[in-house]
A and B are shown apart, each in its own frame.
Chain A
Amino acid sequence: MSILSFSEATLQAMTEEMERDPTVFVMGEDIARQGGIFGQFKGLPERFPGRVLDTPISETAIIGSALGAALTGLRPVADMHFADFISVAYDEVVNQIAKNRYMFGGQADIPLVIRAPDGIVPGAAAQHSQSVEGWLMNIPGLILVAPSSPATAKGLLKSAIRSNDPVIYFEHKLLYPQKGEVPDQEYLTPLGKAEIRRTGKDVTIVTYSIMVQKSIEAAQNLAREGIEVEIIDLLTIKPFDAETIVTSVRKTHRCVIAHEGVVYGGAGAEIAAQIQQEAFFYLDAPILRIGTKNVPIPFSPPLLEYVAPKVSDIERAVKKALYREGV
């Protein structure tokens, strides 16, 4: 094991995959000269000349040309700078990339990764703080993943690059400097498989990305009160690992879903719907969802504090699911 930061782990994944396959390349804004705004591409252009490309500020052309390159024999990784800017290339993502394989009858594979740094950074306000997986949950053909640690960041990015289907890789900006253990030998984190971060008998928390850490913190606090929660780290948001979720909920009979995206119409809505379909008679309480309140991310610290999901929100929801007093 080595101790790496989240951004170092993604850099290691890029390096290994670019070594392994000469058709892998990466393009985006400020990634070659600057090394990425979070340092996640540092040293890569020197190691792979001509395969780490600074682009103009042209999100539509970045994503669209990644598709063209993928269709003609390359494996592009397109960096979106901020996940929020996917909206600029929305047609390319939802009408071109997501539909290409299906509407042309499976004529071509689309080995393409969009790296999308997302999530709340204090002070970054409405257009640089979103978790946008909800925009894409409703689009057939896309695989959405979100690592929660350096180890999963590396393993998921490697799997995404090797995937023959388009993967959107959401990496939370606040996770980049965080350190954690990463195996020294080569490994892949499989797409579509969740991991159980903590076992417990009382309540299941289904979560991903930075909310995994907040859930673990909440679980530690709750344990002091004798409440044992089970934490499922989805890793792949779509198609999510329904089997692992349902198995857990059938055991605990209670479920809280925690993500940073807006609650209304967010990924949690689909997860909750599938749980009630598959485990309705096992449930002892309504499924509760934690996420951002239904407004854009505000700038001022007290406003942000009020709308963003917190550890205490998770704790409160778990207690509510258990019908404990004082919630």
Chain B
Amino acid sequence: MLIYRPDGGFAQPPAELAPSPTVLAGRRIGILDNRKPNADVLLGQLAERLADRTGATVVRTETKNAATACEDQVLGLLAEEVDVILTGTAD
């Protein structure tokens, strides 16, 4: 028998990831802390190790809350100031 698939189409996502740089040396790494408990620990140590190994510069910033989308103002600043962003959840 023929049945409809239940998912339907999907819209274009509002943003797509930029291509990742192949070399981090000399790049600026942005840490986007979503303020989940331990996110700062995880991301901070990751950034420090990357900086030590590659010589990259690290810039730290944070969002208001992990439950809502990052503010446009924060994203705009990061877009101007860094080449790569590390973010993610924790706890």
The reply to whether chain A is a binding partner of chain B is no
Residues of chain B having any CB pair with chain A under 8 Å: none
